[in-house]
Amino acid sequence: MEFTEDGHLRMTSGEQTLDTVMVLTPKDDGFLIALRLIGHNTKPNCQGVSADFVAAHFIPFIFVRVSGHVLTSSMLDRSLTELGPPLKFNHGGV
């Protein structure tokens, strides 16, 4: 991921790049990250999936919460319904 000078978030996977606009909003002791896809480079991602397919199935919201050394992340659809179980990432410190 890369934050660009024009305020966009660029995500890269393999040859594919997706350009998005991101808005963070505090919510329920965490943050709701709203992503809007504004463009892509038409190349396949690291799994060989076309940019058009990724764009058609783009996840518009992510909810994240940090508790101690654990970051929990959930992908959400347009109605803010969770898509699958949340992912947990542990950080043991520096």
pLDDT at residue 1 in the model? 83
* pTM of the shown model: 0.78
Residue 74: pLDDT over 60: yes
pLDDT at residue 47 in the model? 96
Give residue-wise pLDDT tens across range 12-42.
Answer: 999 999 999 999 999 999 999 999 999 999 9
Nearest C-alpha neighbor of 52 from the set 61, 62, 40 = 40
The span from the first CA to the last CA of the chain, in angstroms, equals: 22
Domain ranges of the chain: 2-90
